[in-house]
Structure 1
Amino acid sequence: MPPTLRDQLPALANKAYFNYGGQGPLPTPSLEAMVTAWQRIQELGPFTDDVWPFVESTVARLRRRLGCWLGVPPHRLSFTENVTSGCVLPLWGLPWQAGDALLLSDCEHPGVVAACRELAHRHGLSLHSLPVADLLGSPAATDAAVLERLEAALTPRTRLVVLSHLLWNTGQIMPLEQVAAHLQDHPRRPWLLADAAQALGSLPVAAAAAVVDIYACTGHKWCCGPEGLGVVALSERVLAEARPTLIGWRSLSHEGTPASGFHADGRRFEVATSCIPLFAGLDCSLQLLETEGSAEERHARLRRSAGDLWRQLQDVPGLDTLLQVEPPAGLVSFTLAGMSPVEVVGQLGRQRVWLRSLDQPACLRACTHLPTNAADLEALLNALRSTAKT
């Protein structure tokens, strides 16, 4: 019998793990693919004429695979180190004018918020908030409220909307396709930036990534790839309008000739040397996930396990889930009366059960993924019940 995905994740052998939204465990085959790539590079020589075809084919293979996952042609992809750089590098290269307004949801990650604040400081832009943190009901009600509030928050000066695909704190999915369509009717056609850190690997993302201007992802969370490698999908108009922010030899259409100018495609936002074995590792992790079914089938499984957890959490004394309905994806956030989230994480960790605490709002977050099984849920629930009694 072939090994299951869980069997190939050694990090799950001795713990109940619920931190996929922070970092997914690396499958053994992905680690082996990275080691093999390193060995091959050394055999060929790390800087020889013989090594470049191997390097180029490794990068191109992952670019094609991610293009399929994201529903965009490979030329619209830029490889980055993480979601933050995927957001910042194209964002800071756009043609800003003093007085332009940035509209950020109140559920964005601090790294993206800080980048927008500094961008506003440097260019004389204004920052505005789109409230979505209090949307804790059904997907239909959430979608309607987001669009209504977006319309109310837009001004003639709005030039950018920042809205995550899957909110990292409450676990709600944002209606990016509808938001993108709505922005098309705005006189200035604001750019739409989506932090997709929690989306790639957990949701079907192709429809959203195809219409968002900057759709930034990472490989080390729900994709269970190695840390240090991400990708951003860019719209054609961003490719046409944005200038490189950081510049290196990979940004150039011809490495040895700076006067040749930048790549016309997503490579203009790639800077310099990357660790090629990471590409082989992430490609392997994506292939392993593909064996688990289509993006829709994988999402349905995540949603079922998150729903199972959400329902059983309702019976834990003193515990309140943030969402009033079953989660639309694999993020389940909750609070435990009388205890700080950090304290709970510490106590559960001593019982080999791992989740994380969040600051905004102050809560606990458990992530269920394809490898999550009934024993994991039981371990978490027993640990929470025990902790609630102390």
Structure 2
Amino acid sequence: MTGPLDLDRLRADTPGCLDHVFLDSAGSSLPPTPVLDVVHAHLRREAEVGGYRAHDERLDDLEAGYGVVAELLGCVPGDVAFTESATRSWLTAVDSVPLAAGDRVLVTEAEYAGNAIPLLTLAERTGFTVEAVPSDGTGAVDVDALTGLLDERVKLVSLVHVPTNGGLVNPVREVVDAAHAVGALVLLDACQSLGQLPLDVRAMGVDMLSATGRKWLRGPRGTGVLVVPEHVRARLRPRLVDLHSGEWTGTSQVELRADARVFELWEHSAASRLGFIAAARYALDLGVDRIAAAVSDRAERLRAGLRSVPGVRVRDLGTTRSGLVTFTVDGVAADAVRDGLRARGVTTTVSRLGSTRLDMTRRGLDELVRASPHCFVSPEQVDAAVAAVARLA
């Protein structure tokens, strides 16, 4: 697809964006009407005939969803597993890696607390070590430093594609090539990139990818995806399995699935999963390249506007930027900025030290205001948000 997105159509599909400036798609975005219609219709059907029958009526659509997500992520349907969140996807992937005492796991300074806390807990229990790779001068992961840290004891590299507390986009292929040279697996946290940036698992070469539906993809909460290519699955040992992940083949025997659905569990919200699939279709229909261009346009407009306001400092790092825009206002606490903006019809959020402790400590920051404009935000709304910040500053 070529040309810009139809902003009028986007805004008509997103009535929630009409009466206020919504700048929190990095938190939980506004689902478009086609997604809501799918979810609501299935919940109504469950109320009419029960969850089992309603689910069976949509088996073809649920099955087709694997192909839809595979098209969105540049993989094959057998590589896709649906989960209940990015956290569940990430935890399932890490828990499947056979880590032992003496092994090493590398993370970046942009590592997210939702990953770091379970990883450090598992390390304490198992005996492997967790080490941070320094950032380079732009704030992105230093690939040269990573290469210097790699050896045959490194079993896993955890890479956050787009950090939760700033606008940079980390390099992926360079990290993958370096890690694979010593046989290490790479798990890409695409929580903040799915839906706003083009993603191609085959081109990036990552071994596992975890992501959520509720952010830039604009799906329902309680949805996620885990991608594990076939050549990687033989190296993993999934532990959280049930009667969907495998089959009870004998009194004392089980046989696990061969595809990525071995990482799924039987119980799930069919309505939410159908909504996730609808959101993926919606993104494909718009064109992810065009979404990325629109998001970049709004984010750069917002950065430029904020930089023009005395007392406001844009805190984004990196040379390749995403749709996350972070800033501080001199003398005004981040919570006060968020609340003041909300009172003026502008929705933002706050990113704190505890969510990205390594990066925030390195930069001497305790908190940031985070704004994340999606493609349905109009340029005029961006300017209105800048004006609202100026009044607070």
TM-score computed with the length of structure 1 as normaliser? 0.89
Per the TM alignment, residue 3 of structure 1 is displaced from its structure 2 partner at its CA by: 6.2
Per the TM alignment, residue 62 of structure 1 is displaced from its structure 2 partner at its CA by: 1.6
Distance change >3 Å, CA 254–CA 299, structure 1 → 2: farther
Per the TM alignment, residue 44 of structure 1 is displaced from its structure 2 partner at its CA by: 5.2
User: RMSD of the TM alignment (CA)?
Assistant: 2.4
Corresponding residue number in structure 1 for 2:147: 151
2:12 to 7, 19, 31: 7
Once the two structures are superposed, what CA deviation does each residue of 1:300-321 show, in whole Å capped at 9, x if it has no partner? 1211111111111111111111
State the distance in 2 between where 1:108 and 1:249 align.
Answer: 34
3-state SS of paired residue (1:344): helix
Corresponding residue number in structure 2 for 1:30: 35
State the distance in 2 between where 1:26 and 1:3 align.
Answer: 16
Whether the 8 Å CA contact 1:80–1:230 is kept in 2: the answer is yes
3-state SS of paired residue (1:129): strand
State the distance in 1 between where 2:243 and 2:321 align.
Answer: 42
Whether the 8 Å CA contact 1:30–1:281 is kept in 2: the answer is yes
Q: Which amino acid letter does the alignment assign opposite residue 310 of structure 2?
A: P
Corresponding residue number in structure 2 for 1:381: 386
Whether the 8 Å CA contact 1:177–1:207 is kept in 2: the answer is no
Once the two structures are superposed, what CA deviation does each residue of 1:191-249 show, in whole Å capped at 9, x if it has no partner? 11111110100000114675111210111100111001100111334311222222222
Whether the 8 Å CA contact 1:83–1:217 is kept in 2: the answer is yes
Corresponding residue number in structure 2 for 1:211: 205
Corresponding residue number in structure 1 for 2:116: 113
Distance change >3 Å, CA 150–CA 52, structure 1 → 2: same
Corresponding residue number in structure 2 for 1:62: 65
Corresponding residue number in structure 2 for 1:135: 138
State the distance in 2 between where 1:326 and 1:15 align.
Answer: 31
Whether the 8 Å CA contact 1:251–1:263 is kept in 2: the answer is yes
Q: Which amino acid letter does the alignment assign opposite residue 154 of structure 2?
A: T
Per the TM alignment, residue 258 of structure 1 is displaced from its structure 2 partner at its CA by: 7.8
Whether the 8 Å CA contact 1:193–1:213 is kept in 2: the answer is yes
Distance change >3 Å, CA 301–CA 52, structure 1 → 2: closer
Distance change >3 Å, CA 185–CA 365, structure 1 → 2: same
Per the TM alignment, residue 42 of structure 1 is displaced from its structure 2 partner at its CA by: 5.1
Whether the 8 Å CA contact 2:302–2:383 is kept in 1: the answer is no
Aligned residues: 376
Whether the 8 Å CA contact 1:70–1:210 is kept in 2: the answer is no
Per the TM alignment, residue 336 of structure 1 is displaced from its structure 2 partner at its CA by: 1.2
State the distance in 2 between where 1:328 and 1:161 align.
Answer: 22
Please show how residues 348-387 of structure 1 align to structure 2 within 5 Å.
348-360=341-353, 361=360, 362-387=367-392
1:78 to 63, 76, 81: 81
Q: Which amino acid letter does the alignment assign opposite residue 266 of structure 2?
A: A
Whether the 8 Å CA contact 1:5–1:288 is kept in 2: the answer is no
Per the TM alignment, residue 98 of structure 1 is displaced from its structure 2 partner at its CA by: 0.7
Distance change >3 Å, CA 197–CA 324, structure 1 → 2: closer
Once the two structures are superposed, what CA deviation does each residue of 1:39-78 show, in whole Å capped at 9, x if it has no partner? 4445554335xx5643432321221110011111111111
3-state SS of paired residue (1:4): helix
Please show how residues 330-349 of structure 1 align to structure 2 within 5 Å.
330-349=323-342
State the distance in 1 between where 2:317 and 2:126 align.
Answer: 41
State the distance in 1 between where 2:27 and 2:249 align.
Answer: 36
Corresponding residue number in structure 2 for 1:251: 245
3-state SS of paired residue (1:249): coil
3-state SS of paired residue (2:344): coil
Per the TM alignment, residue 262 of structure 1 is displaced from its structure 2 partner at its CA by: 1.1
State the distance in 2 between where 1:82 and 1:17 align.
Answer: 22
Per the TM alignment, residue 364 of structure 1 is displaced from its structure 2 partner at its CA by: 1.3
Question: 2:176 matched to 1:199?
Answer: no
Corresponding residue number in structure 1 for 2:51: 46
Corresponding residue number in structure 2 for 1:185: 181
Once the two structures are superposed, what CA deviation does each residue of 1:97-144 show, in whole Å capped at 9, x if it has no partner? 2110111111111110011111111210111011238634xxxxx5xx
Question: 2:279 matched to 1:285?
Answer: yes
Per the TM alignment, residue 267 of structure 1 is displaced from its structure 2 partner at its CA by: 1.0
State the distance in 2 between where 1:95 and 1:209 align.
Answer: 25
Distance change >3 Å, CA 325–CA 157, structure 1 → 2: closer
Corresponding residue number in structure 2 for 1:139: none
Once the two structures are superposed, what CA deviation does each residue of 1:166-189 show, in whole Å capped at 9, x if it has no partner? 122122111111211122212xx1
TM-score computed with the length of structure 2 as normaliser? 0.89
3-state SS of paired residue (1:35): helix
Distance change >3 Å, CA 324–CA 125, structure 1 → 2: closer
Q: Which moved more, 1:74-83 or 1:53-62?
A: 53-62
Whether the 8 Å CA contact 2:187–2:206 is kept in 1: the answer is yes
State the distance in 2 between where 1:204 and 1:285 align.
Answer: 15
Q: Which moved more, 1:251-260 or 1:359-368?
A: 251-260
State the distance in 2 between where 1:284 and 1:258 align.
Answer: 40
Question: 2:313 matched to 1:314?
Answer: no
State the distance in 2 between where 1:70 and 1:276 align.
Answer: 21
Once the two structures are superposed, what CA deviation does each residue of 1:267-314 show, in whole Å capped at 9, x if it has no partner? 11112211111122122222222332x222221121111111111111
Corresponding residue number in structure 2 for 1:97: 100
Whether the 8 Å CA contact 2:24–2:348 is kept in 1: the answer is yes
Q: Which amino acid letter does the alignment assign opposite residue 381 of structure 1?
A: V
